[in-house]
Chains A and B, each alone.
Chain A
């Protein structure tokens, strides 16, 4: 089976400052269907830049990128937008939900653009609702982002990323703005999706988050320095149990102290 993502010798140079910044310096990579990859690296290692190029939000300065057999170099702005709409789901670190817009309407948004334009409003609503069910937020469909916790907002963003049944779900530091417990919650959702066969690529700089994935890529100074499968994957459910147990223990100690 052909890889869903195939990049060769990808470079990105930012010319905006006084000195050109060579953020990505020749990355070659193949991603097969059903993979769950963590892109790791310190800040400034080029992982977010690579992610933006994978997400077709930014064009490479040099090199080729084939997504699901399409060379993105041949596409204009609008074709690129259609590609993002149909083949990619994107989850941002800062959620990037529309404010004052209900969870359901945020999830509906990608279906209002691209080839889904001809779909009826009822179908759109049904599918958005279904995606909210997948991330476990169906009961919060009419809440605004400011009425949801960070983890819940990120799950709405994941539902939005899923709604057009993308080839690849890309996540840029999806747990970067979340505490450890909600991070586990969100990683559980990703794990579940990957088990259902969805290809996921995420950027993180946290080692314990990367351990949820199947394959880890480590970048340094714009090049891949390590590419290896994860030996002992963390399971979100086990992790959750562990955290709950730790919390319960902390509560007991606290009570014991106050009782004394």
Chain B
């Protein structure tokens, strides 16, 4: 009953001055909404970069010939046969915890089909390639290990190539000519869009790497090996095993290969995203502080100007505790109301920005919590403090306050 009375008193006090209550809540709303919108934009951008990095494949390890170090005029650099299909076979046979592996030979060629021609990337790969790249087929199927062994004249094409060469028909089952050799199209890859380096990933024709080396490019070395580790925890272990195995296969010669993990490849891209998140978190922090000061101002002023009211309540028999509880309830109600509306406005604002500007936004729950809790804390403390001071006064002094 006692608490019910205090609650009633607090609700009456809020209702009595609707404008003041709304303005106080508005301080909260703006603070919370600003933080959420800012962080949503930042997290959205970061998530987009991360998604692009993830589209490279998962738990990926790449082996490249030669040295990647920028100052690198090293012995093995430029050696045309530094990485061989046998290296790839050896890794597949001997290294544990590998989920998928694909050798890769890259080239650019003019391709012909359907009375049209198109200059595109013709890459020789293994049958695991779509799996390793996390790149599902849109129609048809990938070629098999059997096609690799038999130097099969089969291919799988990317979405861009399919659109260019077969604008109005189903490419699966048709024939594509590369260097005048007919390759039967087994399937079409789904669209992957642009890579983080800006090239069109769908502008590609995949053929067995054996066919590529013997029939098309006549190369003896491969461009890279892509390996997918079984687990994120195993990436480092697999990388070490691959390095050890390849070093062993070089029999004491200077290592002429580089093994890199996806994290290393993606680190530049994620660094950019991190800078952006940091920047936006900074802006969010500033809006939180500015919002907090706004809340503090209006709370301090509105409670201080009610010192006389506190005096009246004390004079007619309220305990200091009754007054404090009342102001605490008021501050909590206003803060939670303002916080909730602030979250709604912030989320709606983020969505509006997203649909209007096409920015990717992601509303992070942690920041919703931080902004609401932070603002509520500031609101409650700055509402409580002047009420506490007034409740300590002798009633007669509180009554004389103007």
Contacts and interface: CB of A to CB of B under 8 A. Distances in A.
A97 B312 CA distance: 8
Interface in A110-156: 110, 112-114, 117-118, 121
Contacts of B1: 117-118
A110 B314 CA distance: 10
A234 B16 CA distance: 41
Interface string A161-173: 0001000000000
Contacts of A101: 12, 16
What class of interface size applies to chain A in its complex with B? Answer: 20 to 34
A94 to B, nearest CB: 9
A57 interface: yes
Q: Give the interface centre of B5, B315, B318, B321 by most chain A CB atoms within 10 Å.
A: B315
Contact of A117 (B5, B17, B315): B5
Interface stretch (A27-35, A37-45, A81-89, A213-221): A81-89
A58 interface: yes
Contacts, number: 70
A90 B396 CA distance: 12
Nearest to A89: B316
A86 B16 contact: no
B399 interface: yes
A113 B8 CA distance: 12
A112 B396 contact: no
A98 interface: yes
A4 to B, nearest CB: 18
Given A81-B319, A84-B317, A112-B5, A57 B312 contact: no
Contacts of A92: 399
Interface string B1-38: 11001001100100011000000000000000000000
Contacts of A118: 1-2
B317 A81 contact: yes
A52 interface: yes
A86 B317 contact: yes
A109 B308 CA distance: 15
Nearest to B312: A96
Contact of B395 (A57, A82, A113): A57
B394 interface: yes
A77 B394 CA distance: 9
A160 B313 CA distance: 12
A245 B399 CA distance: 40
Contacts of A99: 16
A82 B322 CA distance: 12
Q: What band does the interface of chain B fall in when counting residues whose beta carbon is under 8 Å from A?
A: 20 to 34
B24 to A, nearest CB: 16
B320 interface: yes
Given A98-B16, A101-B12, A113 B320 contact: no
- Give chain B's interface secondary structure class: helix
A104 to B, nearest CB: 12
A57 B313 contact: no
A113 B394 CA distance: 17
Contact of A113 (B308, B319, B396): B319
A255 interface: no
A78 B320 contact: yes
A157 to B, nearest CB: 10
A81 B2 contact: no
Nearest to B394: A58
B309 interface: yes
A52 B396 contact: yes
Contact of B319 (A52, A78, A97): A78
B317 A82 contact: yes
A85 B311 CA distance: 13
Contacts of B16: 98-101
A105 B12 contact: yes
Contacts of B311: 96
Interface string A182-212: 0000000000000000000000000000000
Contact of A84 (B17, B308, B316): B316
B189 to A, nearest CB: 70
Interface in B296-316: 308-309, 311-316
Interface string A49-67: 0001001011000000000
B141 to A, nearest CB: 77
A86 B12 CA distance: 23
Q: Which 3 A-B pairs have the closest CB atoms?
A: A85-B317, A100-B16, A57-B396
Given A97-B312, A118-B2, 14 more contacts: A52-B396, A57-B395, A57-B399, A78-B321, A82-B319, A85-B316, A85-B318, A90-B315, A112-B8, A112-B9, A113-B5, A113-B313, A113-B316, A114-B317
25 contacts: A55-B315, A57-B394, A57-B395, A57-B399, A58-B394, A58-B396, A78-B319, A78-B321, A81-B317, A81-B318, A81-B319, A82-B319, A84-B317, A84-B395, A96-B311, A96-B312, A109-B312, A110-B316, A110-B317, A112-B8, A113-B5, A113-B316, A113-B317, A113-B318, A117-B5
